[in-house]
Amino acid sequence: MQNKTFIIGDVHGCWDELERLLDAAGYGPGDAVVSVGDLVDRGPDSARVWTFFRDAPGATAIMGNHERKHVRGVLSYSQEIVRVQLGPEYEAFRSWCAALPYALALDDCLVVHGGFEPGVPLAEQRDDVLSGTTGGTRYLDRQLGGRDWAELYAGPVPIVFGHRVVGDEAQRFPHAWALDTGACHGGTLTALELPSFTLHRVPAASNHWRTERRRWQLPVLRSRPWDEYRFAKIARELADLRARPCPPEVTAFLDALEAWSAALEALAPALVGPLRSRARALVDEVGEADEKRLKRRLHEEPDAPLLFAARRGSLDEAAVRAQLRTPEAMRSAARRLGVAIPADAPWALPDS
């Protein structure tokens, strides 16, 4: 009996649907299973889907735009959720994603995630086109005058791809199959069986992404490195988050974050006096006459730019704010200068 290959549309973390689909399609020992990419994000169990494609015999995957975001560290909300879900395994996951190919040539077809530029050999295809990034899609639109590459593509081998949600049923083009049928949005999950080119699909249990978006909002907010953000960015993030309806626990978090950020930013006036005192102490230590040594000594200080400003007589609250732009920077300077630090909000990590 000939072994089969099952090419799976965008799974997006929908493990239960993947398991049901493989069972319904008759997947068995010796068969191969290929993900068209976007195997994680949005669904309820990205970890289980990842470990299956990592460990199952005969399982392989190609790079989707969602895997590419993880690799490049350009995380939108759905990638942030997976980062929190995977915890200490996240870096191993990123390393695994980084080794994924952008295309897979099988005996019966070519598998890509997002797109293909007709008339261009595979070796010369752009990675952003193959993986379906926004930039790759814009490039194709410019090259093809807005026409659909899948309609224009004429071979020499069929292409199987995902990325674009085409409804509850796979879409057939003259020389291509589109398999993303929106499983994470409550649609279906689809597989194309080779070599018979038979389609299989199962319905999704629910609109998983709608549920997961709400479920993970607070854990993701807690996981963000607020200490490292500039105060201006924190203010923008708060304004954006408050512009949308939030559950009570998220509103409480935003209130705590706003108070914490404001209290740390308000330390600026209290740091001016200690910085001036520190600059005077260094001048007294080295002496005004040895300018070269004094400059070298000031440069050795962690707050050197502010100490130079103090010596020039230009240090004020605005200069402190301009230099200490993040909560971490403001808090560290206050600690060095012996200025009392406001109590952290309950969610914040304790000072080291």
Mean pLDDT of 55-70: 98
Which amino acid, 298?
L
Residue 259 has pLDDT above 60, yes or no: yes
- For every residue of 251-302, DSSP letters joined together read HHHHHHHHHHHHHHHTTHHHHHHHHHHHHHHHHHHH-SS-HHHHHHHHHTST
Residue 96 has pLDDT above 50, yes or no: yes
pLDDT at 350: 42
With CA atoms as reference, report the closest residue to 330 among 269, 281, 255: 269
pLDDT at 108: 95
| pTM score, whole prediction | 0.88
The region of weakest confidence among 90-94, 99-103, 292-296 is 292-296
Residue 291's pLDDT band (cuts 50, 70, 90): confident
With CA atoms as reference, report the closest residue to 8 among 194, 149, 156, 134: 194
Dump pLDDT digits (tens) for 219-232: 999 999 999 999 99
Dump pLDDT digits (tens) for 5-39: 999 999 999 999 999 999 999 999 999 999 999 99
Dump pLDDT digits (tens) for 148-171: 999 999 989 999 999 999 999 999
Residue 347 has pLDDT above 90, yes or no: no
Dump pLDDT digits (tens) for 194-204: 999 999 999 99
Residue 351 has pLDDT above 70, yes or no: no
Q: What percent of the chain lies above the pLDDT cut of 90?
A: 91
Residue 349 has pLDDT above 60, yes or no: no
pLDDT at 162: 98
User: DSSP class of residue 80?
Assistant: H
pLDDT at 343: 72
Per the DSSP assignment, residues forming a β-bridge with 33 are: 6, 59
User: Domains in the chain and their CATH numbers?
Assistant: 5-210 (3.60.21.10), 225-343 (no CATH)
pLDDT at 289: 76
Residue 287's pLDDT band (cuts 50, 70, 90): confident
Residue 348's pLDDT band (cuts 50, 70, 90): low
Q: Answer with the residue of higher pLDDT: 345 or 88.
A: 88
- Cβ atoms of 160 and 111 within 8 Å: the answer is yes
What is the C-alpha to C-alpha distance for residues 241 and 243, in angstroms, rounded to an integer? 5
Residue 1 has pLDDT above 70, yes or no: no
Mean pLDDT of 291-299: 90
Mean pLDDT of 92-117: 98
Q: Write out the H or E segment, with its range, that includes residue 200.
A: strand 198-203
pLDDT at 316: 97
Angle between helices 208-215 and 77-86 (to 10 degrees): 70
Q: Answer with the residue of higher pLDDT: 21 or 350.
A: 21
